[in-house]
Structure 1
């Protein structure tokens, strides 16, 4: 099963350089809306069967053009919601940089719990569980590879990718996930394989699942990407201040 992890587009909190968290009413900027339309244009030709998303507005806005283009009904999952940053929610990033906990978040994420909020280890546990459960449900329903999208937030995606890479959560800040970027993970019976990381512009045709009737036994190497390299491009304005 193959999931496209989509981060929401640039938000008003990105440009304000604040930590949005679960603040109500944080919307996409004009640029973020343009990114959402561009994502729909990139993905509309792929046989995507499900779009699952965080319930927050910026994710709803990001997946709306894609869902319309695909003709699918989006599914929201509370487990893909942004980190509960507790007392840090809404505060300027420049101010948070002076907090002793900031260094813990950067270097020892597994031990970081936000005051009045949740711990990053909890975030990873709920997010990975959500992705895996959807994977199992789609596999049981269709009995074949299903391509689907999960639209969520930066820290949430990074925690899922850390799990897929098999690295400790303490190393997840080394992963970059820009607004409106795509990261792709294929889950197999033996291990997950990361096909794309922080991708904002490469050809995605290699993600189309092969026709089972056309694939002979042993014809493909598990986890390989037919005809494509694992590549990624980045923007100078990556908006990582708002996860």
Structure 2
């Protein structure tokens, strides 16, 4: 049995409210760092110590992983496959009014792909590949080994929808993937046996929708 915990990064410092996507340099707020500390304490004090730590290359993910890595004295491996989804609106303030502008409407022609960003299926495939690589690495650590991966909301949600056999097309407002939350996948060899979700920072969540996350 192996378990891979997909952790969403903490709150990001984004005062202008843009869709920051893969733009470098967006780090955590003070509250985001508190979320990261809580994530670190959660896994450092868990019954099973994580045998591998992996993070997206983006600053917010690396900062979220940092307290756990420090607590365990373990290195963090960067994996581009767990990075945020690509989006053609990156760097902009996205609103209903802006989306209805003629230059933007053409990007919305097919929400099933979606036409404005990285295809959902492509996100699933790269997340599944990253988890498969981790399972191979964890096999060397004996039974019941676990890994922690800090990623982003949409990639984590895509991995969960695919694992649970649900449609990938969805309403973004209904994603169950709060900041610094944990979505856990448990496998028996290569067979998925369970998916669970835990919101570690329910009391620290911002009271409004978070742009760019």
TM-score range, shorter chain: 0.7 to 0.9
Residue 138 of structure 1 aligns to a residue whose secondary structure is: helix
Once the two structures are superposed, the pairs formed by residues 73-222 of structure 1 within 5 Å of their partners are: 73-85=75-87, 87-94=88-95, 97-98=99-100, 99-100=104-105, 101=107, 104-105=110-111, 108=112, 111-114=113-116, 118-139=118-139, 141-171=140-170, 173=172, 174-189=174-189, 190-197=191-198, 199-200=199-200
Q: 1:196 to 1:6 in 2, by over 3 A?
A: same
**Structure with the greater relative contact order (CA < 8 A, sep ≥ 6): 1 or 2?**
2
CA drift at 1:136: 2.4
Q: Say whether the 8 Å CA contact 1:179–1:238 is kept in structure 2.
A: no
Residue 52 of structure 2 aligns to a residue whose secondary structure is: strand
Q: 1:233 to 1:120 in 2, by over 3 A?
A: farther
Whole-Å separation in 2 of the counterparts to 1:17 and 1:57:
17
Compute the TM-score of the two structures, normalised by the length of structure 1. 0.74
CA drift at 1:196: 2.1
Unaligned stretches of 5+ in structure 2? Answer: none
Q: Say whether the 8 Å CA contact 1:178–1:240 is kept in structure 2.
A: no
Q: What is the RMSD computed on CA atoms of the aligned residues?
A: 2.4
Q: Say whether the 8 Å CA contact 1:164–1:192 is kept in structure 2.
A: no
Whole-Å separation in 2 of the counterparts to 1:56 and 1:235:
21
Name the structure 2 match of 1:206.
none
Name the structure 2 match of 1:16.
16
CA drift at 1:240: 4.3
Kindly tell me the number of residue pairs found equivalent between the two proteins.
203
Deviation string for 1:211-230 (max 9, x for gaps)? xxxxxxxxxxxxxxxxxxxx
Once the two structures are superposed, the pairs formed by residues 66-77 of structure 1 within 5 Å of their partners are: 66-77=68-79
Q: Say whether the 8 Å CA contact 1:83–1:118 is kept in structure 2.
A: yes
Compute the TM-score of the two structures, normalised by the length of structure 2. 0.84
Whole-Å separation in 1 of the counterparts to 2:9 and 2:16:
16
Q: 1:237 to 1:16 in 2, by over 3 A?
A: farther
Unaligned stretches of 5+ in structure 1? Answer: 202-231
Q: Is 1:237 aligned to residue 207 of structure 2?
A: yes
CA drift at 1:237: 2.9
CA drift at 1:16: 3.5
Whole-Å separation in 2 of the counterparts to 1:77 and 1:138:
16
Whole-Å separation in 2 of the counterparts to 1:79 and 1:144:
25
Whole-Å separation in 2 of the counterparts to 1:172 and 1:48:
33
Deviation string for 1:56-112 (max 9, x for gaps)? 001111100110001110011010111111x3111112265545456954xx3xx11
